[in-house]
Structure 1
Amino acid sequence: MKKLVFVGLIIINGLFIYSCNPPIRSSSFIHNNIQREYVLYKPSNLPNNAPLVLVLHSYGRYAINHMESLQLNEVADTNMFAVYYPQGTLDENTGSPYWNARLHESNFDDVGFLTELAKHLQTKYNLDPIKTFVCGISNGGFMSYTLACESPKTFKAIASVTGTMSGYTWNHRNSTSLPVPVLQISGIDDQIVPIDGSMSTEYGWGGAPHMDTVMNYWKDFNQCKTIDTLFILPNVYGYHFKNGINENQVWYYKIADFGHDLPSIRNSGLNTAELIWDFFKTIE
């Protein structure tokens, strides 16, 4: 067996955390002979064939912390879907947890891990393979786009918050065979993942163009025919591209005077968790 390369949630592995009701369970999953960790949240009385949402943390964070900050579990309780929070491996250069969205950091197969874990949970908990989605912030957003391009038969829609497509994923985007609905939330003043596509190409992060161009690609790929322009708040602009193939939609939100952070009611007026689910529930 390969050496375990991260320590994220080992201290709670296999235990139930009774910080809320119902309990949250930390578990492990073996992929390519490597033990990987994840946290699963399953509301009480969840019906069979319920949706499943994968949540990917940002660079340097741990799954349990991202679960607490996003607060998607509360939305899951109301709308009856399961949520799982997998843990990334450690960047060999910095020692920080991350996702390999076809970067130059390592050869970890995160596409394979996340795809196989989703299928495992679908079977184990009788969850809906047609309504299995992925969302992520920052590096998790990068990884969400990579899954859209490389595993569209498993992940039926994605949401990226302050992320974009890695250079490799953008350059190989045409290899995908299925249109995937996309939600993107970007801060106009983001200096870490600039909306204008000027992120450094070092280690394979940058290389995608302006986010407007990225979203136009997904709008065209999904064959969306109409657009609703929304001015939700004085600083939040929303664009809903609709009436696409299979009724697919592409949503694009820009937040003025906002940087590289998870949008919330407090810091931007936008409830990210609610918006993500509002988008995913459009999938038929």
Structure 2
Amino acid sequence: MTDVLRVGGRERTFTIRVPVATPAQQMPLVLVLHGNNPGGDGARMMRELTTFDRQTQARGFAIVYPDGVDGSWADGRGVTAADEAGVDDVAFLTALIEWSAEHHGTSPDRNIVAGLSNGAFMAHRLALTASDRVAVLAAVAGGLPAGLADVGPTHAVSALLIHGTADEISPIEGGHSRRRGPNGELRGRTLSLAESADRWRTIDRCAPDPGTTRSTELSSRTDSAAGVGGCRVAAWTVFGGGHSWPGAPTGEWEPTSQEFDAAEEICRFAEPLLIGAAARQL
């Protein structure tokens, strides 16, 4: 069932699922943000593409799939339809967290935001600007927008960053958007996986070195030491992975790793890091 929330003069839609049983502690809300999809069915695509429904149900988490305006998010790069329309998606997603807390008893400050591509960029933005509400960020195939690199959040946020080495749409090395300005100028630069992880380690006041690395034939993951409130940062390089969601059904258009299920790993990473805002304050 699709719900509607009016924010900034717009009717915004979303699909939410809340466990029937209410745990003693307020359950976290997982916000799953789709990639740029002009067809407008990005939320449905993310439900079909990922196993978040199953993963969250098993853990007693609530989950919501919001819809971007014109199938996109105003992620701060200035290149999407939502950005150009002046949409305030931070206000929408923050209002959604508040609405869920009021109507479903979910946590106001121990939440997870996860996204793919345009949704990953937006996840970075929400974690930076609503860090008191977001305890864990997960970004797949999307680095930190360079224009937001100097934003100073008020609270530490744990981050799991996943990127493929064969991603040509949003390269792991960072770079500009393919959508150029009216005069052909480059726009929408994003940081590399390594730079994004370094920025979040700095924000979270983790040790300056990247941390401990575990490698397989198919990927390499580096986990930081704990920072403020026990927050952590993990950077996961998928060898040969394209602009895709690991664990999703393999498609012809992008190389998709089957070594792990990104939704499962995001929930597993987040579960011990759902730390209240008071402990994460910088």
TM-score norm. by structure 2 comes to 0.83
Task: Determine if the alignment matches structure 1 residue 230 to structure 2 residue 209.
Answer: no
Give the structure 2 partner of residue 282 of structure 1.
Answer: 272
Give the structure 2 partner of residue 78 of structure 1.
Answer: 58
Give the structure 2 partner of residue 22 of structure 1.
Answer: none
Task: Determine if the alignment matches structure 1 residue 271 to structure 2 residue 261.
Answer: yes
Give the letter aligned to residue 247 of structure 2.
S
Give the letter aligned to residue 197 of structure 2.
M
Give the structure 2 partner of residue 103 of structure 1.
Answer: 77
Note the aligned Cα RMSD (angstroms): 1.8
Give the structure 2 partner of residue 69 of structure 1.
Answer: 49
Q: Is the 8 A contact 1:180 1:248 kept in 2?
A: yes
What SS class does the counterpart of residue 110 from structure 2 fall into?
A: strand
User: How far off its partner does 1:200 sit?
Assistant: 3.4
User: How far off its partner does 1:29 sit?
Assistant: 0.6
User: How far off its partner does 1:205 sit?
Assistant: 5.7
Which stretch of structure 1 is more off in the superposition, 107-116 or 43-52? 43-52
Higher relative contact order at CA 8 Å, sep ≥6: structure 1 or structure 2? 2
Which stretch of structure 1 is more off in the superposition, 158-167 or 106-115? 158-167
In the TM superposition, 1:156-235 aligns within 5 A as 156-170=135-149, 172-173=150-151, 175-200=152-177, 202=180, 206-225=188-207, 227-231=211-215, 233-235=216-218
What SS class does the counterpart of residue 54 from structure 1 fall into?
A: strand
Which stretch of structure 1 is more off in the superposition, 143-152 or 194-203? 194-203
Which stretch of structure 1 is more off in the superposition, 67-76 or 202-211? 202-211
Give the structure 2 partner of residue 134 of structure 1.
Answer: 113
User: How far off its partner does 1:52 sit?
Assistant: 0.8
In terms of fraction of residues, the more strand-rich structure is 1
Task: Determine if the alignment matches structure 1 residue 44 to structure 2 residue 43.
Answer: no
Give the letter aligned to residue 55 of structure 2.
V
CA distance in structure 1 between the partners assigned to 2:22 and 2:154 by the alignment:
32
CA distance in structure 2 between the partners assigned to 1:209 and 1:73 by the alignment:
30
Unaligned runs of 5+ in 1: 1-24, 91-96
Runs of 4+ in structure 1 off by over 6 angstroms are none
User: How far off its partner does 1:28 sit?
Assistant: 0.6
Task: Determine if the alignment matches structure 1 residue 145 to structure 2 residue 128.
Answer: no
Give the structure 1 partner of residue 278 of structure 2.
Answer: none
CA distance in structure 2 between the partners assigned to 1:205 and 1:275 by the alignment:
32
Unaligned runs of 5+ in 2: 79-83, 251-255, 276-282
Give the structure 2 partner of residue 21 of structure 1.
Answer: none
Percent identity of equivalent pairs: 25
Aligned length: 251
User: How far off its partner does 1:208 sit?
Assistant: 2.9
What SS class does the counterpart of residue 130 from structure 1 fall into?
A: coil
Which stretch of structure 1 is more off in the superposition, 111-120 or 193-202? 193-202
